[in-house]
Amino acid sequence: MEYWEVTKARAQQTLPVWNLHFSALTIGTTTSGDLEARIEEFEPLAQARVEAQDTADASYREVQSSLALMKLLSTKVAAIIEGQLSENTGLMKDLGDVFKIQMRSESTILQRSRLLYPVWLRANALLAAMTPSVPPITRAVAGVSQTVVMFKALLDGYTDLVKAMRDDELALEAAKAELKTLDKSVDQLNKRWYQVAKAQVDPGSDAYEALSTITTEPSTPVPEVIEIDTVLQGGEEGLQVEVTYVPGGGDHATTKLLRWQVVGVDDGFTNSEPLNNAGNAIGPFTVGQVIKVMTEVSNSAGTRTSAVRTITVEEPID
């Protein structure tokens, strides 16, 4: 169960006891009706967070895919140009500047791509001027023939992709905050109500026995959830799902697992492997499969899970 599901479950246990045995009791001005209304808020807010997470993940992957495509083309097209036009001294000098850029980061991928673009244009012009003319340079990636025009569109559109990703990240943080705020308020209400209610009744009474049906926190700390950071496609043949984690988490856990489900194939999260803090790579899968992943931590006090993350396997960029 996720953190909010634990709080909601306790609230659902509390509500009938409050209505049946303590109907006149209020915590400050808060009534059992207020608790019921807050319980109803959990699912819509949880769904909003799921939708915001899926949108943010898609934006992040789009940025990463764009970078990966630019990196691939900046490597392969440069090699094609060198092979086709090595006798052109001027072009080779400019191409040498392209080769000097080692693509180890976002900035260096963009830098090399910007240098390659005019060289690619000139190479196409030189090929077209030959007798007979030679077609412009293209490179097939995932079944799509990439042209210099498409490469320029990648460069021009990258800033917009990053902006959209940042906007989606902000929307996700807002959705997470709303759910956490609700969870905190209901958790506090549950505990305050329980404290007051228990102080009002004597052992052996029906009301006292009813309170025993409400789950309270165990003396052993429950394990701290390990949150998923990124879910990307890569690894073996480009068809694995690579999962990284937010630093921290896992305190008090005796078991840490990564669980996953292939939608339409598995009946629930039936697949698992030990969670590696440095990251896990699962699969390979096939193009078109939808994979859902979550972390699970447990100890004698209980089990907690992270929010579910989803990825659709696409044609690898290679």
Q: Residue 27: which residues within 8 A CB-CB, separation 6 or more?
A: 189, 192, 193, 196
CATH number at residue 281: 2.60.40.10
Mean of pLDDT values over 32-46: 98
Counting the structural domains of the chain, the total is 3
* Residue 86 domain boundaries: 77-160
Q: What percentage of residues in the chain have a pLDDT greater than 70?
A: 100
Task: Tell me how far apart the alpha carbons of residues 72 and 96 are, in angstroms, rounded to a whole number.
Answer: 17
**Region of residue 144 (phi > 0: left; psi between -120 and 50: alpha; otherwise: beta):** beta
At 219 the pLDDT is: 81
82 and 153 housed in the same domain: yes
At 217 the pLDDT is: 84
54 and 97 housed in the same domain: no
pTM for this predicted structure:
0.91
Residue 242: which pLDDT band, with cuts at 50, 70 and 90? very high
Q: Which amino acid is at 159?
A: T
The strand pairing partners of 297, in sequence order, are 256, 304
H or E stretch covering 183: helix 148-200
Last residue of a domain, one of 160, 175, 192: 160
For residue 46, is it within any domain? yes
107 and 139 housed in the same domain: yes
pLDDT in tens, 127-177: 999 999 999 999 999 999 999 999 999 999 999 999 999 999 999 999 999
For residue 45, is it within any domain? yes
For residue 69, is it within any domain? no
260 and 283 housed in the same domain: yes
102 and 150 housed in the same domain: yes
At 189 the pLDDT is: 98
For residue 256, is it within any domain? yes
Burial pattern 35-62, b for ≥16 Cβ within 10 A else e, equals: beebbeebeebbebbeebbbbbbbbbbb
104 and 155 housed in the same domain: yes
Q: Which amino acid is at 181?
A: T
For residue 38, is it within any domain? yes
For residue 268, is it within any domain? yes
Q: Which amino acid is at 106?
A: E
For residue 11, is it within any domain? yes
Beta strands in the chain (DSSP E): 139-141, 144-146, 228-234, 240-245, 255-262, 271-274, 280-282, 290-299, 302-305, 309-312
Last residue of a domain, one of 160, 193, 220: 160
For residue 204, is it within any domain? yes
* Helix then strand then coil, % of the chain, to nearest 5: 55, 15, 30
Q: Residue 128: which residues within 8 A CB-CB, separation 6 or more?
A: 134, 136
Mean of pLDDT values over 82-100: 97
At 204 the pLDDT is: 94
